[in-house]
Each structure stands twice: as structure tokens, then as C-alpha cells.
Amino acid sequence: MIRLPAIVTSNFTRIGRCLLALSVLLASNRLADASDLRLSPIVKAVQKASPAVVNIHGRKTVRNRSVGRPAQPSERLVNGMGTGILFDERGYILTNYHVVQGVASIIVTRHDQSTHTATLIARDTPSDLAIIKINTNGPLPIVRTGDSSSLMPGETVIAVGNAYGYQHTVTRGIISALNRDVQVNETQRYGNLIQTDASINPGNSGGPLLNIDGEMIGVNVAVRIGAQGIGFAIPSNDALDIAARLLFEAGPPTTLGLDATTRYSSNSSRYIVSRVHTDSSAAIQGVKSGDVILNVAGVPIRNRLDYERALLRTTSGTPVSIALQREAKTFNVHLLRSGSAVLPTPVTKRAWDELGVRTTTVARGRLGAHQKRYRGGLRVVAIREGSPAAKNGIRPHDVLLGIHKWETVNLDNLSYVLSSSEYKNKTPLKFYLLRDQQVLFGHLATVPGP
């Protein structure tokens, strides 16, 4: 047998070890490359958004009719399901109103499988949106929002939801079209919807439609019965504006003495002061129309929903720290919250003192299926305990359509009612209101002032 010199054997050994190390390194790189390929933009988007998505379950009573003659109404219990989106760390959730409508106990399951009982905070029937809230021991993850005004047909979108009760089901597709108007039934019509071919099934309602960056750009709301690949979502800009209004109406009426509006541009948004109330805290501190609100009470502000969320952290009579920008210069002011959502007027004071209601104007377009019949109304945002309104069954969120023979489209109409001889003679006046798309009526036993 031929023996190689020791130096040659040593070199072979070193070469073998190097080849082995190289093969291990190449294998490791292949595994890393495979892992990177699997972690696609869609996977990353889902991972970002999923912790803020919740599943909603509940039982509700529905009415049906037998096929016999005459038809006899009956009731049955059904299991409801849907999806919600956490938009505030304290447990505030945005969903579709039809998901929680009539549900006695709203059960929410979070991404970590913890379950909570939610409370209905506010709802808007024409848009089919509602806010519910769960209690939490600490801050919860919230969804990141995108600008739905910049969406393009053909771009990739992702739906996450409780499809047929299968929690956190993920589907993907593209934006098929924008600005769709959809009539679902006799009482529910949606406008300006996003159309997508991402699979949206029963149970997806109220869940997010995401862009490729994992930002919510829509709220899934409806499917086309009998069609495949046709689903619809409310644009996020519209949904956030409605959610902000619902938070405002649900909370105690307060103001910082200014009005502002959200402006979108280049995939970003700013919340800009549009009006400063005369003699208000904002006016005294020198706030001007055109100032950009950057921060309120430590919360960064991009839109009205951020603003209303920030005000939830403050209390009436307490100075609120506001960071503003004017012509590229940043400055801070401390504004005092007043106890009224609007500057008090004689009619609003009388309505509160004598009827026990505080209202905001509702345009005809917000009345859903009833907008052809009524020109608008006054939404009840607060009820004084023990007042005539409370005793006669009027509730917050009701829309007052008319009193006696007069419509109540605005405060001028209400002022006319309060000045009428029928009201002054303490005549019980018939009122009409809209509640959950039903027109109801009653008789208001008024207590006019001196």
C-alpha cells in the first residue's frame, strides 16, 4: 500500500473541512433565502394588522313569517358573527352595525384568543357602522390606517375576517373598481364603496380591507349574492370620519373652541383648523384658521378620529396641551375644554332646559331609505335625566324628524316650535323620530318655561 506524505494528508484534511463548512454555509443561505421568499409582502401585511382584528359573536332574535294564510309572525334565535377593528388602545372597536344590531351579549375574541363582552357605544344606521368597546387591563394593538383617496384599481388588497365563523381568515385580491353605489335591500343603501375580488364572506362584515403595507384602507361590508369575486368595502377615510362623529356624539358635549377638517395629500393627512369660535379658549390663546394640529394631550393627530380619541383622555375644565404648526413654525398652547359641544344659543339652552335634549343637525343624505321623504332632522346627542324627552322615550342617537305639524330639520325649526302657541299652552305635542331606520312617534308632554 502506498503511503502519502504527512503534509499531503494534512492538506486533504483541511480541504475536506473547508468543503464541509462551505456546504453547511450554502445550505444555511438556501434556508435563509427560502425563509425570505416565504415572508412575502402579503404575509408581512397580515402580521402587522392581525393583532388589531377581533372576531365578534352573539345571538339575536329575528322575525320571520310562516307560509300559511294568514301569515303569522314568529321569532327565532340565530347565531350572529362578524369582525371588528381595534382603533384605540383602550378597547374601542369599529364594526358594522348589522353585526351587533339586536345582539343582547356581544362576545369579542381577540387575536390572542382572549374573550371579552363588549358594550355598544354608538351606531350610525345609514352607513351601517357602529362602535363597541371592551374593557382592558392595558393598551391594546390598534390598526394602522391608510389613505383611501389614493387607491388605484388593480392594486393588491387583503381581507381579514371571521368568514363563516373561521377566525382570522385571510384572502387576497385586487381593487376591481371605486365609487360603487350598492342597494342591498329596501332599507340599506351604501355609497362610494370599494369593489374587490378578494373573497368576502358572511362573517367578514366589519373587518379590514388592507393594502400591501398592512394599512386599513376599507371596512368590509357586503357581498353580491350569487356572484363570485364581487365584494364591497367602505373607504377608510369615510369610515374614520363617521367613527369620529360617533365618538363625539357618544361623549359628553365639550369643545376646545375650534373646528377643524382632515385634508389628505400624497398618502398623508393633516388636521387643519377651519374656524375659531369667538371668545373661546382657542381664540384667547391665538389659534388661527389654517393652523395644523400636530398633537393633542400627547396623541399625534392626523385626522378627526385621532382628535376625538385624544379628547377622550381629557376632562372638562382641565387645560389640554395642543401642539400647532403655522407657516413651518411649531408652537404649543393650553386650551380649556368648555361644557358644550357648540356655543350656547337661546334655542339650544331652551331645548335643554325645557325639553331635555341636546341635538346636532343631520342632513337629508344621512337618513338612509327615508331621505326621499324627509329633508333632514336633529340627532339627539344627550338627554337630561328626568326631562320630558326622557319621560317620553326619546333616546340618544334618535333623529327628531318633526314635532306636531312642523318638521325639525334645523334649530330654527325647533325655535319656531318652542315659540308656538300650542307649546306655550302646554299641549302634548306629537313627535316623530327615526330610530334604526324605523319611524316612531309619541306625545311629548312639554314643560315650557315662563
Q: Where are the domains of the chain?
A: 49-64+73-133, 148-238, 251-336, 346-444
Tell me what percent of the residues of the chain surpass a pLDDT of 70: 82
Q: Is 366 helix (H, G, I), strand (E, B) or coil?
A: helix
On average, the pLDDT of the chain sits at: 83
Residue 131, class by beta-carbon neighbours within 10 Å (0-12 exposed, 13-18 middle, 19+ buried)?
A: buried
| 40 included as an active-site residue | no
**pLDDT tens, position by position, 314-332:** 776 678 889 999 998 999 9
In this prediction, residue 374 has a pLDDT band, given cuts at 50, 70 and 90, of confident
Q: Which three cell numbers stand for residue 330?
A: 411649531
Please tell me which residue in 98, 148, 176, 269 is annotated as part of the active site: 98
Q: Of the candidates 303, 305, 306, 294, which has an alpha carbon nearest to the alpha carbon of residue 264?
A: 303
Average pLDDT rounded to a whole number, residues 364-384: 81
188 vs 172: which has the higher pLDDT: 172
Query: Is 60 exceeded by the pLDDT of residue 343?
Result: no
Helix axes 304-311, 236-250, angle to 10 degrees: 30
32 vs 234: which has the higher pLDDT: 234
CA angle centred on 174, ends 170 and 175, rounded to 5°: 120
| 277 included as an active-site residue | no
Please tell me which residue in 127, 148, 176, 205 is annotated as part of the active site: 205
Within this chain, domains 251-336 and 346-444 share the same CATH topology: yes
Average pLDDT rounded to a whole number, residues 411-438: 84
Superfamily of domain covering 49-64+73-133:
Trypsin-like serine proteases (2.40.10.10)
Q: Answer yes or no: are the C-beta atoms of 381 and 416 closer than 8 Å.
A: no
CATH architecture of 346-444: Roll (2.30)
What pLDDT does 67 receive? 37
10 Å Cβ neighbour count for 36?
9
Spatial separation of the C-alpha atoms in residues 52 and 81, rounded to whole Å: 17
Tell me what percent of the residues of the chain surpass a pLDDT of 90: 38
Spatial separation of the C-alpha atoms in residues 406 and 420, rounded to whole Å: 10
**CATH of the domain spanning 148-238:** 2.40.10.10
Query: Is 80 exceeded by the pLDDT of residue 142?
Result: yes
Q: Answer yes or no: are the C-beta atoms of 271 and 301 closer than 8 Å.
A: yes
Spatial separation of the C-alpha atoms in residues 438 and 328, rounded to whole Å: 50
Query: Is 60 exceeded by the pLDDT of residue 337?
Result: yes
341 vs 421: which has the higher pLDDT: 421
Query: Is 80 exceeded by the pLDDT of residue 235?
Result: yes
Please tell me which residue in 57, 116, 127, 128 is annotated as part of the active site: 128
What pLDDT does 114 receive? 92
Reported CATH class of domain 251-336: mainly beta
10 Å Cβ neighbour count for 286?
12
| 149 included as an active-site residue | no
